[in-house]
Amino acid sequence: MTTLLISDLHLQPATSELTDGFLRWLDERASGAEALYILGDFFEAWIGDDLLDLGAGDPTGTAELAARVAAALKRLAEGGTAVYLMHGNRDFLLGERFATAAGARLLPDPSVVTLGDRPVLLMHGDSLCTRDEAYMAFRRQARDPQWQAQILAMPIAERLQLAKQLRDQSGEANSNKAEDIMDVTPEEVVAALRDHGVDTLIHGHTHRPAAHDLQVDGTPARRLVLGDWQPDQGWEIVVEDGTEPRLQAFPLA
């Protein structure tokens, strides 16, 4: 049986090639897999599941994109693949309604799951980037249920405006840079592995795909980092029974 892990697709209406590539990948690659884990930043931005109500009336086009992607994931799930969604720092407001539409289960960050008979720690990865203190302060706020409820209580039009404002402020082309330029804090990685009693961590977020060997209290361990998808290239981690998790890039076009 095959399990697939992906992250950081940053799906958005502006990159329809990437979306098309992802939908093909679902059909050709993911269908038949035992499980698919999406480890955050699946969407470039998410202002709340009620966006789905707008349909074609969403001026950003995100509602239609989300409905299309949810329907494709649901087909995969109905075909027998377990679909798991973890929040990223872009789509932390993704909720149960979207998950249900996608036939998916929301997975807490962090989670320890069994992959190919071994326990593996899964995270989005932003919580490991503790040197970015301004972001960590925002993260604490953004993960606070009361703050989230306040935001979600705002009219959709205001939330769309707020999202646009935040994006304009950070500069459209560089909207990822400030957070993505920061890498994980090595000591946080060791602490996370130690705290969860596992020797393997898989995460995304940093857009620095790699397999790192490290030591936790003298014991070999490793950290696999998923890459961010581009219109012509995707990244996946594959776990097959009896094999080590394997990170690989593949052409998307």
Told to check if 88 binds Mn ion by CB under 5 A, we report yes
Told to check if 205 binds Mn ion by CB under 5 A, we report yes
Q: Phi first, then psi: give them for residue 215, nearest 5 degrees.
A: -120, 135
Per-residue contact string for residues 8-47; x = within reach of Mn ion by CB under 5 A: ---------------------------------x------
Please report the DSSP string for 150-178 in residue order: HHHHS-HHHHHHHHHHHHHHH-STTTTHH
Give me the least distance between CB of 180 and Mn ion, in Å please: 7
Residues in the interface with Mn ion (CB under 5 A) total: 4
What is each CA distance from 126 to 4, 69, 122, 135, 207, in whole angstroms? 21, 24, 12, 9, 11
Q: Measured between alpha carbons, how far is 242 from 48 in angstroms, rounded to an integer?
A: 40
Give me the least distance between CB of 14 and Mn ion, in Å please: 18
Structure tokens at 214: 């490290």
Give me the least distance between CB of 224 and Mn ion, in Å please: 16
Give me the least distance between CB of 8 and Mn ion, in Å please: 6
Give me the least distance between CB of 42 and Mn ion, in Å please: 10
Q: Which is nearer to Mn ion, 128 or 216 (CB)?
A: 128
Could you list the beta-strand ranges (E) of 44-140.
Answer: 82-86, 104-107, 111-115, 118-122
Least Cα distance to 93 among 166, 192, 36, 169 occurs for: 166
Least Cα distance to 195 among 159, 156, 171, 221 occurs for: 221
Q: Which stretch binds Mn ion (CB under 5 A): 95-103, 135-143, 183-191, 199-207?
A: 199-207
Q: Which is nearer to Mn ion, 81 or 89 (CB)?
A: 89
Judged by CB under 5 A, the residue of 3, 62, 81, 89 near Mn ion is 89
Name the residues that contact Mn ion, by CB under 5 A: 41, 88-89, 205
